[in-house]
Amino acid sequence: MSVDNYVDEKAFRDCVEKAAKILRAEELVAFPTETVYGLGANGLSTRAVQKIFTAKGRPSDNPLILHIGSLAQLGPLLREPISVYAEKLIEHFWPGPLTLIFPASDRVPSVVTGGLDTVAVRMPAHRLAREIIAKAGVPIAAPSANRSGKPSPTRAEHVREDLDGRVAAIIDGGSTGYGLESTVVDVSNREASPRILRPGGITEEGIEETLGVSISMEGSERKKDNVRAPGMKYRHYSPDTDVELVEGSSAVMQARIDEARMHGKRAAAAITSDRADKISADRILVLGDGTDLQTISSHLYDHLRAVDKMDVDVLFVQTFTETGLGKAIMNRLYKAANP
Ligand code: TXA
Ligand code: MG
């Protein structure tokens, strides 16, 4: 079912109705959010949530995010009152691409938390997502709607590629906005400052400005975080083609491309538009204007998926400065390059 524009209110209502009905019947529905497409199931039903892991081929100890449509749905999921930091973050960034980690109540099935005593919660801003959750009347567990190890889907067509026949319905709402998964922030420890477990569309700078405290971490501490965000330890966001990151000028990248081709490899280059006429490769992927990281992040996964359909052996990708949205972009590129 498709709702590419919301001019047709009846088509929109039909989609919401259909998705909610499937969710209430404990089946799976893929639906758009403002970050990436999610693969949804009734988040309070162990039976329904188990189907997500089967459909995705996802390790069962990698916990899921519960998506809520209103603040009234938050309280019952939590073991204790939220901290002042959490309150501020909710006020500023919900609904939106921010996931918060809280101490979980007994109502949250352990299949959702992967056996942890915390739960991840997000209130999406996408209108279709919100309405579907509201209509279903329960929190919706939803990981990204890709097969495990593939880049997250930013268009319904990506979901179809990965999950056709494995879900009851795919709701097509066109391209998602941000194109990268939500920022995950741990606010479960009341004594400590919030910690970013996964960078995303809500930036570290934006969070610091909102809270008035520094939350940046040392490199060594960041390594320890791999344990805290269980998803980090799995292969992620990775095309089948080899991905290599290239720091430096166009000349540096051209040298790498030439070297690969000398070894008989077919090489693609993913570069910003200002470099497009400076690089020669078997295929060129223009990521967008280098000063517009929003556009670059929204198309990044599309490019990573496209490269597997090109007849190339290696993809060279230029790097970005790790500030603002650049941090989330580089986080995903590192994962694509180091499966
Ligand atoms: O934008 C998004 O967040 C998308 C859309 C569909 O909402 N969802 C998404 O879900 O990216 P998923 O399952 O692909 O990623 C969830 C991340 C994983 O890295 C997981 O390990 C982490 O959140 N996570 C979930 N529960 C957690 C918990 N209790 N403690 C720490 N990390 C947790
Ligand atoms: Mg995912």
Ligand 2 ion: nearby residues, β-carbon < 5 Å: 144
Known binding positions: 35, 58, 62, 67, 118, 122, 142, 144, 152, 182, 198, 237
Q: Given the DSSP bridges, would you call strands 267-272 and 118-122 parallel, antiparallel or unpaired?
A: unpaired
Question: What is the Å distance from ligand 1's center to 199 Cα?
Answer: 11
Model pLDDT for residues 231-289, shown as the tens digit of each residue:
555 556 678 899 999 999 999 999 999 999 999 999 999 999 999 999 999 999 999 99
Q: Classify each residue of 274-286 as buried b or exposed e, where b means 16 or more C-beta atoms within 10 Å of its C-beta.
A: ebeeebebbeebb
Rounded Cα distance between 192 and 215, Å, is 10
Rounded Cα distance between 13 and 7, Å, is 11
What is the pTM (predicted TM-score) of this model?
0.94
Cis status, amide bond into 95, omega within 30 of 0: yes
65, 233, 335: residue to mutate for ligand 1 pocket, most atoms within 8 A of CB: 65
- List, in order of start, the domains of the chain with CATH numbers: 9-217 (3.90.870.10), 242-337 (3.40.50.11030)
Model pLDDT for residues 51-110, shown as the tens digit of each residue:
999 999 988 889 999 999 999 999 999 999 999 999 999 999 999 999 999 999 999 999
Joined tokens for residue 100: 């918060």
Ligand nearest to the CA of 33: 1
| ipTM exceeds 0.95 | yes
Task: Write the DSSP string, 230-275.
Answer: GGGGS--S--SSEEEEE-S-HHHHHHHHHHHHHTT--EEEEEEGGG
